[in-house]
Amino acid sequence: MKKILYFSLLILAVVSCKKNDKIKEEAEEKPLNVEIVRYDKVFFETKPQDFPKLKAQYPQFFPESMTPQQEQALLESISDPMWRKLYQQVEKRYDNFDKQKEEIEKLFKYVQFYYPSTKIPKIYTMINNADPEQKVIYDRDKNVLIISLEMYLGKDSWVYEYPEYLKKTFEEGQMLPDVVDQLSFGKIKPPTERDFLSQIIFAGKQMYMKDMFLPEVTDEDKICYTAEEIKWCEENDVEVWKYFVEQNYLYSPDQKLIQNFIAPGPFSKFGMDNDKDTPSRIGVWLGWQIVRSFMENNDIPAQKMMVLDAKEIFQKSKYKPAK
């Protein structure tokens, strides 16, 4: 019996590898050029007397709602010592953006493979206000995507005065996953229910979209975990799942569960003495594994899975923790 199971798993793995190789070949064979404008360079290399020319060339960064005071503050930031220091830090890290451009182009090849009608946005890099909520901005109406490079200088950069759990999201490896997060909206059906299961499966769909668009990126970077945190999840998934079931959390509409197990934080909040040893967002991890299990056990295009209801995905996933 064990031999039969072993060979069944081996055959499944071989078939999966061949399928992934075919997707990679088809997705990456077509040439694609993404236009990336280094607006951060343009802005900080503009002389104050040429500021009107900058406004005329890039009106999208100077909306009519901008007040004269805000515009004056922008002008002054060009020569402000602290802003200049930040610009120099970004330049030191991203003076040559060729590698990142190549990675972004590969990402969009997979986007177009799965969603051929998706238009490739024009991409601008800029230096913003070091706001974790605005690392990547995607304007679907204008088909513009903005990447704030000051948010990818590494967790130990002097720029950041944030808690450690946020600082680790400021590594360069988070740039592409952050782009996918923005692209996923509109492609994934929002939860129709408020229960915890619907929320974690929605998060799991977002993670699976990273599997689709970023097949060469590690699981650690996709979910922003350390290798140790991944190991913790793999070694404790049975206990975590059992806890959620025994506490009747799966179909609970209690929104505190989102804060405890889905929202960013230093750790997941079980209300136990060893909470600090747990990775944050454990609900996201579990939702991801449920969606992966569904895709392994059902012959359905990933795009169609993204619009299925959570309960159908869960029921057909045959999800069972590893141990």
The per-residue pLDDT for 308 is 97
> In 10 A of CB 242, how many CB atoms?
11
CA-wise closest residue to 242 among 192, 301, 282, 293? 282
Which residue blocks in the chain are alpha helix, DSSP H?
A: 2-29, 39-44, 51-57, 68-77, 81-94, 98-114, 164-167, 175-184, 196-213, 219-223, 227-246, 256-261, 282-297, 302-305, 310-317
The per-residue pLDDT for 197 is 98
The per-residue pLDDT for 4 is 56
3-state SS assignment for residue 18? helix
Q: Which residues of the chain have pLDDT under 70?
A: 1-19, 323
Alpha carbons 261 and 285: distance in angstroms, whole number: 9
Both structure tokens of 311: 């309960």
Alpha carbons 91 and 40: distance in angstroms, whole number: 9
The per-residue pLDDT for 25 is 81
Alpha carbons 143 and 209: distance in angstroms, whole number: 20
Please check whether residue 293 is in contact with residue 207, taking contact to mean a CB–CB distance below 8 angstroms.
Answer: no
Please classify residue 240 by burial: count the beta carbons closer than 10 Å to its beta carbon, then call 0-12 exposed, 13-18 middle and 19+ buried: buried
Alpha carbons 61 and 43: distance in angstroms, whole number: 10
- In this predicted model, what pLDDT tens digit does every residue of 58-68 receive, in sequence order? 999 999 999 99
Both structure tokens of 165: 């759990």
Q: What are phi and psi of 146, to 5 degrees?
A: -115, 130
- In this predicted model, what pLDDT tens digit does every residue of 166-186 receive, in sequence order? 999 999 999 999 999 999 999
Both structure tokens of 5: 């199971």
Please check whether residue 273 is in contact with residue 215, taking contact to mean a CB–CB distance below 8 angstroms.
Answer: no
pTM of model > 0.75: yes
The per-residue pLDDT for 8 is 52
Both structure tokens of 119: 């238009």
Alpha carbons 276 and 151: distance in angstroms, whole number: 26
Report the relative pairing of strands 136-139 and 144-148 from DSSP bridges.
Answer: antiparallel
DSSP 58-87: -GGGS-TT--HHHHHHHHHHTT-HHHHHHH
Look up residue 48 and give its DSSP letter.
G
